[in-house]
Amino acid sequence: MKFTTRSFLLRRRIDSWILLAGAVSLPLRIGLAGVATFLFSCIGAYLVAARHRSVRFCSNRFQLFAVLYAVWSCSLILWRDDHPLDDRQLGYSLLFALFAFAGAGMVLVARPMRIFVLGSRIGVALALAVALGTSLLFGGRIGIGGNEAVFGFVVAVAVLAATIPIGAPPKWAPNGPYYLIIGSGAALLSETRSVIAVLLIFALVELALALKSYSVRAKAGTAAIMLAVLVAIAPQAKDFIERRVIATTLIYSGFLEQADYSGRIRLAMWKGSVEIIAEHPVAGVGSGVKMQAVGDRLDPSDKIAEKFHHVHNSVLDELLSHGLIGLSLMLAALASALGFIWRHSGVTAERRNLVYFFLLTVSYGALHNPFLHETTLGAIFLYLGVFNAALRQRRLSLASA
């Protein structure tokens, strides 16, 4: 038996467990989610390069635009930087291209969507328990893994995955809006404003849709879960609203003198970024010098912004680093992935979940940058990759029928 044949037979047994481990660990930030995404991406890139027939129903445009984006980004870095290997953007751009092949690497996972959903349901419940325990012991913003905003985002992605309905779910992990309720509690403990706002809206929508068909017993159970989560996070929620939500409202209403410090720094960086982008619209100024360039436009009181690695806005960061060409290629890649899923899903709940995912990414990207952190980048592409793999199987079944 050939080595490749033996390895494929072995992977048929273990790939499902790798995906399950990645899904469970995603909101916990253990690291297995990134490892799983990387492994599947390497396998997928090999299969696509070899033009294997198993990947013929995957999203080719998504992969093409992702590679073109990486080529543009890396070319600019090599051209501009004296020490390109020291530029963090180089690694993120390469991961962006590689992770686009994650779905193609899941060809041996029998039911990728089911495994991803069940793993996410387990992970979300564990994330709330760990976040609550950490909050009770240490207080303050909770960021399992060290970064509160990143924790909030990956929890939110896992929550959306957990909300996707599956056929014949186990009794211990039924379909329903419960995971949005639980996950909103975990996200609230991270105090990530851009995540909490949209998650609460999604939870209300899913609750309204679910309660229409629920029995009295199911409605009572849902209410009990909501009450338990509210009681558990009530002290932290009050403090969060006073310190973070009100401060955010003030700064975007123009009351700068009453706004929180992080908000003032963001606005100062954004103002400087817009001025620089207007001068260098096509290719930007480069990721290696963008923060120095932004810092030169700041008042002395805001010079602390120079210590940041990015300007905390995805669009402005991309325009500063790669200009309109880079932003166009990135958006084309993401639009291709989302469009592929929308066209071929045909399941209303999955399409609605895709809309949630899009709004979550936009909301988070307005105050942070999910494409400049390996954990958030991996979470985005794991979600898209599982959808890609699941739809590939459905299309293959239809073609074989």
In this prediction, residue 274 carries a pLDDT of: 94
Element (H, E) at 189: helix 178-190
Give the domain ranges of the chain. Answer: 114-252
pLDDT in tens, 72-124: 999 999 998 767 777 889 999 999 999 999 999 998 898 999 999 999 999 99
With bands split at pLDDT 50, 70 and 90, how would you rate the model's confidence at 253?
low
Local confidence band at 266 (pLDDT 50, 70, 90 cut-offs) = confident
Residue range 365-374: average pLDDT? 94
Q: How many other CB atoms sit within 10 Å of the CB of residue 167?
A: 8
State mean pLDDT over 156-180: 94
Tens-digit pLDDT profile for residues 235-252: 665 555 555 555 555 555
Q: Can you say how many angstroms the Cα of residue 234 is from the centroid of all Cα atoms in its chain?
A: 27
DSSP state of 310: S
Assess contact for 106 and 376: CB atoms under 8 A: no
Q: What does the pLDDT look like over 181-216, one tens digit per residue?
A: 888 888 888 888 889 889 989 988 998 888 777 677
Supply the pTM of this predicted model.
Answer: 0.90
Exposed e or buried b per residue across 114-148, where buried means at least 16 C-beta atoms within 10 angstroms of its C-beta:
bbbbbbbbbbbbbbbebbbeebeeeeebbbbeebb
Helix 374-400, helix 32-49: angle, nearest 10: 50
CB 180 within 8 A of CB 206: yes
- Nearest CA to 40 out of 15, 21, 63, 14 is that of 15
Q: What is the pLDDT of residue 204?
A: 87
DSSP 106: G
- What pLDDT was estimated at residue 2? 66
3-state secondary structure of 259: coil
Is residue 40 helix, strand or coil?
helix
Kindly report the number of other CB atoms within 10 A of residue 15's CB atom: 23
On whether the CB atoms of residues 174 and 223 are closer than 8 A, the answer is no
pLDDT score at 15? 93
- Rounded CA-CA distance 226/181 in Å is 6
Q: Is the dihedral of CA 236, 375, 294, 313 positive or negative?
A: negative
Q: Could you say which DSSP state residue 81 is in?
A: -
Give mean pLDDT, residues 42-56. Answer: 86
pLDDT exceeds 70 at position 160 = yes
Q: Give the pLDDT confidence score for residue 137 in this predicted structure.
A: 85
